[in-house]
Amino acid sequence: MKILQCHKGVGPTVTGEALVAQDNFSARYDLDRFNGIFSRPKHQLFGQSYNQKILVLNTAKGGVASAWMLNEMKSYGLFPKAILFNEANTILVQGAALANLSMCDRFIDGDVTELITTGQKVQVNPACGEVRILG
């Protein structure tokens, strides 16, 4: 097990499978919230399901609409368990808090998209600013 330290985040402690891309993230423009998949053809995760995954991405794009979309996705029951960023923006953090979705950023050990790989099991503890790579 490896422990990654990051800035304290929002949301509950969750465990799940990582889905990683060295790409940015817009909840509004990158996702099909009705089918739970990445829908922007140029996104590295195009066609893959984000539902119940721990998303690991570079940075957040977008404003109020992206933040609102996180809560909307939760209401449909198709949402990621957590989102980890190298750097989030304050509006998306507010959206995560509203949706009670786990989110952390600013990893001490380096680029989070290089520290975690797709398929690894990870536990995100936003209150402690800690992500455990379990396997």
- The pLDDT tens digits for 29-72 are 999 999 999 999 999 999 999 999 999 999 998 778 888 889 99
Quote the pLDDT of residue 41.
96
For the chain, count helices (H), then strands (E). Answer: 4, 9
Q: pLDDT of 3-29, one tens digit each?
A: 999 999 999 999 999 999 999 999 889
Q: How far is CA 69 from CA 43, 79, 89, in A?
A: 18, 10, 15
Lookup: tokens for 120: 């690894």
Q: How far is CA 109 from CA 5, 15, 77, 115, in A?
A: 7, 20, 33, 8
Q: Closest Cα partner for 101 from 62, 132, 128, 69?
A: 69
Q: What is the largest CA-CA distance in the chain?
A: 37
Q: What average pLDDT does range 80-97 have in this prediction? A: 95
- Quick check: 101 pLDDT over 80? yes
Quote the pLDDT of residue 38.
97
- Quick check: 135 pLDDT over 80? yes
Does residue 128 or residue 29 have the better pLDDT?
128
Asked if residues 11 and 101 have their Cβ atoms less than 8 Å apart, the reply is yes
